[in-house]
Structure 1
Amino acid sequence: MQSCSSALCVLILLITTVTTSSGSASLSVTVKLNDSATLPCSERCSGLVTWTVSHKPTDVLAECDQTSCRSVKEGYQMIHDQYLKGNLSLTITDADFTKRDWYTCTCNNKDICDVALQLEPLRSSVQMKPGETLVLDLDVSDPVEVIYNSRANGSSGHICIVDRGSLECTVEYAQRASLTSALELKGVTPSDSGVYTIQVTRTEEVIHVYTVTIQDDLPHPDRDQETVVPVWGIILLILLVVLMGGCFCNVVVLQRRRNIMQRWRKTDGQRKKEKKKEKWLSLT
């Protein structure tokens, strides 16, 4: 009985090994939004190599054979020199949220590699004043849910679900939330401070994380714009003060000259009168 059990174990191990080796290798690659991504695949192939989105096997993105490589779809490429060396990697030049998916590499119509492309979650810090509207970009067309982690008491939970243009929120947020091209939460208060996470409902893939702070003492943007004086305004003010000072000095100098002239004329007139008087007295 023990020998039979051992033989059964060996048989199961062999079956598992054969199944694993005959299947395609699977892994995932994670990059930042709009970065290039390389989906690795190492295998010798003397025939045609193609890359496709896994659930669209007839929609070829890029391909290689012994002669050359071709980018069938813009933004996807393979390198022929690497193909000849057994490096069948696919390069996606601009990874965005629409390109998140499973990709399959085939050699002569046989699957040899499966690679998932994922994007690092976006992270945003938002500072607001009470009464303003919080805008949460959804970034993807997949059904998503919004999870809120409160800064005040540490509680967390789902507050809204967005699915194909429809919005469903908990009672607390139903009257304040609305859906346009983004999810909007009106009339925020300091108690709304915390972390808002946008994640795909089906896969729980995190898309965007917002760290939100609502404070009464934040400077108001309009008020700041009113109090800020541009550099050219300061220079103009200085020039105006200098010009007015120069004009004032000129007026003072002219007034002094006028007073001196008037005094001189008055003194000169008196001298002439005295001379005439002396002359008249001498004649008499």
Structure 2
Amino acid sequence: MWTVFHKQHDILAQCDRISCQSKEGFYMSHDQYLKGDLSLTITDVDYTKRTWYTCECGGVDICAMSLGIEALSSSVWIKSNENLVLDLFISESVKVIYNSTGAAAPSSGQICTVAGSSLQCKDEYTQRASLISAVELRETAPSDSGVYTIWDTSNEEVIHTYTVTVEEVQPCPDESSTVTVLAVLLALMGAGLVAAGLVIVQLRKKISSSRKEGIC
């Protein structure tokens, strides 16, 4: 019989000589049981399954095993002023730890804690951070580049590590100054007036299009 360590009366799976029974998400093979294999299979593992499990046979404790889940690791590339979203996969309390990779970045260390629906952050992050089943950091800048670690404070383990790179957005060139420079070039080109005029028209169209799309 398999149970959760602190819920001895909540039977997850059990077998006898005739058959096996199990709750949804857990499984024991009767054929393997008859061969002496008492293994428990946990299907669709997620963070809610992390705990200690115990096995007993005939009232005698056979073993106790702890289920852990390997931490996730993601690389995130965003541009300045885009929002950084750090997903939370558990309902338990967590903390967000930041390690800087930029010379001009704020000091590294714990920047936020989450407990249920409560979000508490250091002063420099309070106005920029919000909780939406994830931690969202607004108005990012290159100085926010670094490694963000989601730490489960109840089980003292890492849930997810984000390696974040924030790229500086280059401003679009000023249309009037660009055209002025090209106008001077026109005067020097002499016979190439028609061709150069077409260049100006095409360039102005490209700049206008880039501004509408937010890129250069």
TM interval, shorter chain, is 0.7 to 0.9
One-letter amino acid of the structure 2 residue matched with residue 97 of structure 1: Y
Structure 2 residue aligned with 1:110, among 60, 68, 76? 60
Where does residue 2 of structure 2 map in the other structure?
51
One-letter amino acid of the structure 2 residue matched with residue 103 of structure 1: Y
- Structure 1 outlier segments of 4+, above 2 Å: 108-111, 153-156
Matched, 1:210 2:162: yes
Residue 217 of structure 1 and its aligned partner are, at CA, apart by 5.2
Residue aligned with 1:62, SS: strand
Deviation by residue 1:188-223 (Cα, 9 ceiling, x = unmatched): 0000001100011133211011111100259xxx97
Where does residue 187 of structure 1 map in the other structure?
139
CA distance in 1, matches of 2:139, 2:169: 17
CA distance in 2, matches of 1:109, 1:145: 41
The Cα RMSD (Å) is: 1.9
One-letter amino acid of the structure 2 residue matched with residue 216 of structure 1: E
CA distance in 2, matches of 1:111, 1:140: 31
Deviation by residue 1:86-130 (Cα, 9 ceiling, x = unmatched): 221100121111111111111123322111111111111111111
Matched, 1:127 2:81: no
Structure 1 residue aligned with 2:88, among 138, 144, 147? 138
CA distance in 2, matches of 1:75, 1:193: 39
Q: Where in structure 1 are there 5+ consecutive unaligned residues?
A: 1-49, 227-284
Deviation by residue 1:129-165 (Cα, 9 ceiling, x = unmatched): 1111111111101100000010114953100000111
CA distance in 2, matches of 1:69, 1:217: 61
Residue aligned with 1:142, SS: coil
Residue aligned with 2:33, SS: helix
Matched, 1:165 2:117: yes
Size of the aligned set, in residue pairs, is 171
Where does residue 17 of structure 2 map in the other structure?
66
CA distance in 2, matches of 1:202, 1:61: 23
One-letter amino acid of the structure 1 residue matched with residue 77 of structure 2: Q
Residue aligned with 2:24, SS: coil
More helix by share: 1
Which has more radius of gyration? 1
CA distance in 1, matches of 2:83, 2:108: 21
What percentage of residue pairs aligned between the two structures are identical?
Answer: 60
Where does residue 26 of structure 2 map in the other structure?
76
CA distance in 2, matches of 1:112, 1:163: 36
One-letter amino acid of the structure 2 residue matched with residue 190 of structure 1: P
Given the two structures, how large is their TM-score scaled by the length of structure 2?
0.74
- Any conservation in 1 of the 2:97–2:109 contact (CA below 8 Å)? yes
Residue aligned with 1:206, SS: strand
Q: Where in structure 2 are there 5+ consecutive unaligned residues?
A: 171-208
| Aligned pairs for 1:19-34 within 5 A | none
Residue 182 of structure 1 and its aligned partner are, at CA, apart by 1.0
One-letter amino acid of the structure 1 residue matched with residue 84 of structure 2: L
Residues 156 and 204 from structure 1, CA distance in 2 versus in 1: closer, same or farther, beyond 3 angstroms? farther
Given the two structures, how large is their TM-score scaled by the length of structure 1?
0.57
Matched, 1:90 2:61: no
Residue 82 of structure 1 and its aligned partner are, at CA, apart by 1.9
More strand by share: 2
